[in-house]
Amino acid sequence: MEPTKIQAKVRIPRGKFNGINAVADERGIIAAAAMDQRGSLRKAIAKAKGSDATEAEVIEFKVLVTEVLTPYASAILLDPEYGLEAVKHRAKGTGVFLAYEKTGYDARSASGMVGAAAHQCGRRRDQNLDVL
């Protein structure tokens, strides 16, 4: 019996292929750490410290988590509201996913999409993001 020849069903442009590889490990597996929480994270920090969490505290938390986790991840998922500073603190070779929805996104409504991330498209090269 002859081996069956399998033809690829999916073809993707080189740029998308390169983007996927930028967030995958050497085996082709995307092992991403997620740090795109906003409102819930702010509430958790506030509860832990006993008073409201400032924007600076949320940003600092994301920077610290990024520094600690990215040596063990192929990519990190961050948000455009508080996570852009953390992009600069990721381990070398770690890719970036940027959350696409606004904080408090409601899956039943398309109005929560795009918003905060839309204006970041022009900053992609400035922030050295691998994927948006």
Read off the pLDDT of residues 75-121 as tens digits, 9 standing for 90 and up. 999 999 999 999 999 999 999 999 987 766 555 554 444 444 444 43
- pTM value is 0.72
Is there a domain that residue 125 lies in?
A: yes
Considering the domain boundaries, does residue 75 fall inside one?
yes
Q: Report the candidate in 81, 70, 80, 82 with the shortest Cα–Cα distance to residue 32.
A: 70
Q: What is the pLDDT of residue 35?
A: 96
- Phi and psi (nearest 5°) for 56? -60, -40
- Give domain status of residue 4, yes or no: no
> 79 lies in which domain range?
34-109+121-132
Query: What is the per-residue pLDDT across 4-33, written as a single tens digit (0 to 9) for each?
Result: 777 778 889 999 999 999 999 999 999 999
Residue 29 lies in a domain: no
Return d(Cα 91, Cα 19) in angstroms, integer: 17
Total domains in the chain come to: 1
Residue 7 lies in a domain: no
**Number of helical H runs and strand E runs in the chain:** 5, 3
